[in-house]
């Protein structure tokens, strides 16, 4: 096996970043592209049409290919199911990515990922096998969050929210990064470059994953063209040439999200503090003190949770649901106030097809978040959760003051 710089019959790729790896009787031509370059689109089309390859692989997963191929993909989403399955944060991350891509398309007048779409369409038109070798975005996001500490997750979450609200032009530095690297890395902005853990999940793991997928799906092909972001070329070529692990095993390993088996000490401490405080109030001060502590807790958490829901433009019943669920959230995390109120909101004001179709445009402006029902459900979730969190600390400090006073 070897790693060279140019393939046979390389005319279409003469001025493009290319690595060639020969392994197990298969010649892999790795074509590095810029996700915002018309030149990359033309190079891909020419390479596929050259007749030099009998299979084409692309840096996509089925979900991303569906989004590139079908603009109506969002309209098929069941927002209630997203909430029930606890995938709200993942949906928000995908929405932020879509908003970022839309800003790029408008600013540069080229569709981000157009070269990947061109590779798929060109291969299918010529009857060539198409292999999607990238890891699903949701798995990458979950593994990235798993590797970060609490502060890292908070910073990344804040960056996602800012990305959804932002409507300014993408900076020159980010555009240069896209020309040299990877859409997901650029979408995460500064976080990938400043966090080794995030870089590992977003870039390095995917290099190894795509190398394993290429080995696994080559089949009877002898000349495979792999179209990937230029930033993946060095790592992908190295793994493809050197890795000895079974590719199926590597794929299973990098698709696994292992939830940390930790004792929920924070939840237990808060729950014990609250129940102990209520018990102490009733025991030491009688029904008047105990009832007053309980009332203060309900009002602090319930009112602030309901206020967050109201600011999000929630339905009156959604606001009521936030008020009822917020005091219980610290005692039973499964009753998360943001999820409860958002579920009620999505049920009472079910998003329409038009809401989904207008979503990417509406989230570009502040008013659109309240006008669009899908966006308003997300606002409901985040602002209710924020209000409840503030209420928990406010109510807890008030109770502590009564107990030690």
Q: What is the pLDDT of residues 281-302, one digit of tens each?
A: 677 666 766 677 778 888 888 9
Q: Which residue has the higher pLDDT, 295 or 370?
A: 370
| pLDDT for position 8 | 43
**CB-facing half-sphere around the CA of 325: CA atoms within 13 A:** 29
* pLDDT above 90 (res 33): no
Give the global pTM. 0.67
Instruction: Name the CA dihedral angle for 188, 216, 58, 203, rounded to a multiple of 10 degrees.
Output: 20
Query: What is the Cα–Cα distance from 213 to 202, expressed in whole angstroms?
Result: 16
For residue 319, give the nearest of 304, 329, 309, 327 by alpha carbon.
Answer: 309
Contacts of 76-80 spanning 24+ positions with Cβ under 8 A: 77/356, 79/346, 79/351, 79/374, 79/377, 80/343, 80/346, 80/347, 80/350
The pLDDT, as a whole number, for residue 191 is 46
pLDDT at 322 over 80: yes
Average pLDDT over residues 293-316: 90
Distance between CA atoms of residues 363 and 378, nearest Å: 11
Mean pLDDT of the chain, nearest integer: 78
pLDDT for 109: 66
User: Of 240, 312, 313, which Cα lies nearest the Cα of 23?
Assistant: 240
Mean predicted confidence (pLDDT) in 68-88: 71
């Amino acid at each position: 096996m070897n790693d060279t710089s140019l393939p046979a019959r390389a005319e279409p790729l003469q001025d493009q970043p290319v690595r060639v790896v020969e392994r197990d009787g298969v010649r892999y031509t790795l074509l590095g592209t810029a996700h915002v370059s018309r030149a990359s689109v033309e190079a891909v089309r020419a390479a596929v049409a050259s007749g030099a390859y009998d299979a084409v692989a692309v840096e996509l997963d089925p979900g991303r290919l569906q989004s590139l191929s079908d603009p109506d993909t969002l309209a098929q989403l069941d927002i209630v199911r997203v909430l029930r399955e606890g995938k709200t944060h993942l949906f928000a991350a995908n929405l932020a990515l879509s908003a970022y891509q839309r800003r790029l398309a408008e600013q540069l007048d080229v569709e981000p990922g157009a070269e990947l779409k061109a590779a798929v369409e060109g291969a299918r038109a010529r009857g060539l096998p198409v292999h999607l070798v990238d890891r699903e975005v949701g798995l990458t996001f979950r593994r990235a969050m798993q590797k970060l500490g609490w502060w890292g997750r908070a910073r990344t979450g804040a960056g996602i929210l800012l990305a959804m609200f932002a409507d300014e032009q993408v900076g020159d530095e980010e555009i240069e990064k896209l020309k040299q690297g990877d859409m997901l890395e650029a979408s995460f902005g500064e976080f990938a470059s400043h966090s080794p853990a995030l870089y590992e999940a977003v870039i390095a793991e995917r290099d190894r994953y795509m190398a394993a997928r290429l080995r696994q799906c080559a089949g009877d092909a002898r000349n495979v063209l792999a179209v990937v972001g230029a930033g993946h070329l060095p790592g992908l070529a190295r793994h493809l040439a050197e890795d000895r692990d079974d590719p199926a095993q590597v794929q299973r390993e990098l698709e696994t999200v292992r939830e940390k088996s930790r004792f929920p000490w924070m939840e237990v401490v808060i729950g014990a503090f609250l129940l102990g405080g209520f018990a102490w109030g009733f025991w030491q001060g009688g029904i008047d003190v105990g009832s007053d502590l309980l009332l203060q807790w309900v009002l602090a958490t319930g009112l602030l949770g309901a206020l967050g829901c109201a600011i999000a433009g929630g339905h009156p019943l959604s606001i009521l649901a936030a008020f009822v669920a917020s005091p219980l959230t610290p005692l039973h995390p499964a009753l998360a106030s943001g999820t409860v109120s958002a579920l009620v909101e999505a049920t009472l004001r079910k998003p329409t097809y038009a809401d989904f179709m207008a979503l990417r445009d509406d989230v570009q402006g502040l008013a659109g978040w309240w006008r669009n029902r899908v966006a308003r459900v997300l606002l409901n979730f985040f602002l209710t959760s924020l209000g409840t969190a503030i209420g928990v600390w406010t109510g807890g400090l008030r109770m502590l003051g009564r107990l030690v006073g």
